[in-house]
Structure 1
């Protein structure tokens, strides 16, 4: 029934492929670099199996059979060149955007060749935004319905949300859009239908007058790998501190509300708290909030394995994520699955409701964020009870299997249209 095109990395499209295969409806899976049997033999023979990057590649292994996989290594290698170039030369944005666009177009051309060689005619082509390119036209030539998967706010709103602390512009208006996001937006437009991962993302497309019948929403929930890596109980607190633990996970920078969180927490001096920051810290944020980051109550763990993230979330009381713009941040589902009380914004694309799963605060409002944190700290029993209910909700309604059921239902509806 369906061909799924993942693009690069262990993206949620790989879960879609696993679930489609489990239901017997996956005809082919197209992806970037993948640990095929041949690749694993080559890496082992070269003595690279212990390399960190190779380990990340091996972690992309899915539960679908290798005979359904078409892996495209070169386009992803080209994008890695662009990433390395940008890290060394921050001013090289346009050149690296051009390289990235070339990598995406190369992937799309490779996917088109795979589609051209398929026997039979699958009904659907489910592709990741930005990675469609020439393959979308090839899919349509073969009579397939093109379903584009997009997992963040409309590209023309991202810059505005960041520059205006999450505030919406007037209907139909947006912000600056760069070369790479322009490519992704064009790719989204190629789809017959667009699948997004939250009602918030859907609203960002309706903001520009998109036909609502083309837009479909399925929340991702938590994947099997994360659930398998969650400890059953929190580890013993380092140093013996019993202060409530708050966690933020993600790129600690402007878009995800780093400034707001720092300004919200600093005035809370009359209540005990600890904060763990998981993920990279933007250099500008590090400069602006040096004093905050040097506070003994704040610990910066950096980039960690998912098992370590899971352990921190299971130990946490409160997960704070005051983002200006997301799709539906996966880490919010992970935090809920781990039993956290949630403090976030509507712009995070979370399923959380204010007063039910935690607190929903206006984006850009440090005072409201601080008040929500203070209220949670002052009511530990209520905070704990809500966290436990959050874990139960995710376990019952937002697992990878639940995502697969909703996705299979959408496939059937689109194939029958």
Structure 2
């Protein structure tokens, strides 16, 4: 039985008892919550800073209080950047393995080790020997599931799907099997975990929220004088994100609605998709990677957000679009919090016709489009009010009770 937490419950506060291992950008929200509640004993992560100092990589900025928490490591950051600059194969190895070794070299006084990514297995083994509860926080599909979801599609485009590092991919699977509990943010990811043989009793369904959502909820959508319906995609431009199907659907939409619609693509192009961008259909433009502030403006000025991904854990971009008041069209495999026909429309993956039909319905029925957009914004607002950190703490308490 998979554990679904009730947000009405209130977790108790305690002395510092949580050891976290994971990326800065994905774990910063939880770390801030735990530090505020005096529960964060240590957080092994890449370098993190408060906006001051000589070394200030933008993705590593956190709340000032978190710079005092032990466990921030600069060496993995520098090695990873060097590997990417030199275009070394399996470049993640040069950052992820050093971080996992540095994390395992320390054993803080804690009751729970909460690991995310593929950094935690050596530390988990030490922690379990010392009586700690171990958690694997799985934010994306494990390698066997991604292989099933993507291999045929890559083959259809004359390419072979490969993991960046098969070693790190195997480690993520091993962490999920070894841990006492596995946290998953979406139903689609839970399905993947069950397929990989993770015991249902170990799985906790804990949705998270994209950090940009709060800002988008607090910002009013601009008033527009034109009648143009704006479509938007935000994310990597790649086969895995369903871009070929979106472009196929766009040709049908553009032919049906002519100058009444536009499509903007935002995000870096992966090698597998660069050829698709050379001759984009009329009415579609690609802007590349843009600053987060500009992405927020685009969300707020968009009517329909389309995200036909073939494999995700839980799409942050979809949450941000919902918070901005967009009507969302996405797939079940995107792992979004969309409730079909209430806060968005869910279409089958690899189906440009279904994308066309869903977007056409939203264009032709303004009332439905507005109702879905309002429901999406309300859903994200409620999720923020209940709090991601509170949901995680509830799971901690259940695990502590379960393990005595």
TM over 0.5, shorter chain: yes
After superposing the two structures, state which structure 1 stretch, 185-194 or 138-147, moved more.
185-194
Q: Determine the structure 2 residue equivalent to 1:79.
A: 80
Q: Determine the structure 2 residue equivalent to 1:150.
A: 138
After superposing the two structures, state which structure 1 stretch, 337-346 or 151-160, moved more.
151-160
Residue 32 of structure 1 and its aligned partner are, at CA, apart by 0.8
Does the CA-based 8 Å contact 1:130-1:188 persist in structure 2? Answer: no
Q: TM-score, normalised by structure 1?
A: 0.83
Does the CA-based 8 Å contact 1:314-1:338 persist in structure 2? Answer: yes
Aligned CA-pair RMSD: 2.4
Q: Determine the structure 1 residue equivalent to 2:13.
A: none
Q: Determine the structure 2 residue equivalent to 1:215.
A: 203
The Cα offsets for residues 75-115 of structure 1, whole Å up to 9 and x where unpaired, read as: 222122222233xxxxx6xxx22x53353222112112232
Alignment pair present for 1:103 and 2:95: yes
Q: Secondary structure at the match of 1:256?
A: coil
Does the CA-based 8 Å contact 1:231-1:311 persist in structure 2? Answer: no
Does the CA-based 8 Å contact 1:220-1:400 persist in structure 2? Answer: no
Cα distance in structure 2, aligned partners of 1:372 and 1:229 = 24
Q: Determine the structure 2 residue equivalent to 1:30.
A: 44
Cα distance in structure 2, aligned partners of 1:326 and 1:65 = 29
Identify which of 169, 180, 183 aligns with 2:171: 183
Cα distance in structure 1, aligned partners of 2:213 and 2:362 = 26
Residue 301 of structure 1 and its aligned partner are, at CA, apart by 2.0
> Taking structure 1 as reference, are residues 278 and 236 closer, same or farther at Cα in structure 2, changes over 3 Å only?
farther
Q: Determine the structure 1 residue equivalent to 2:394.
A: 409
Identify which of 25, 41, 56 aligns with 2:53: 41
Cα distance in structure 2, aligned partners of 1:369 and 1:165 = 17
> Taking structure 1 as reference, are residues 69 and 36 closer, same or farther at Cα in structure 2, changes over 3 Å only?
farther
Q: Determine the structure 1 residue equivalent to 2:243.
A: 258
> Taking structure 1 as reference, are residues 76 and 386 closer, same or farther at Cα in structure 2, changes over 3 Å only?
same
Q: Determine the structure 2 residue equivalent to 1:10.
A: 25
Does the CA-based 8 Å contact 2:242-2:350 persist in structure 1? Answer: yes
The Cα offsets for residues 21-56 of structure 1, whole Å up to 9 and x where unpaired, read as: 22232222221111269xx4345xxxxxxxxxx451
Residue 133 of structure 1 and its aligned partner are, at CA, apart by 3.4
Matches within 5 A, 1:332-351: 332-351=318-337
Does the CA-based 8 Å contact 1:194-1:214 persist in structure 2? Answer: yes
Alignment pair present for 1:128 and 2:129: no
Residue 400 of structure 1 and its aligned partner are, at CA, apart by 7.5
Q: Determine the structure 1 residue equivalent to 2:58.
A: 56
> Taking structure 1 as reference, are residues 236 and 390 closer, same or farther at Cα in structure 2, changes over 3 Å only?
closer
Cα distance in structure 1, aligned partners of 2:54 and 2:327 = 46
Count of matched residue pairs = 375
Cα distance in structure 1, aligned partners of 2:290 and 2:192 = 32
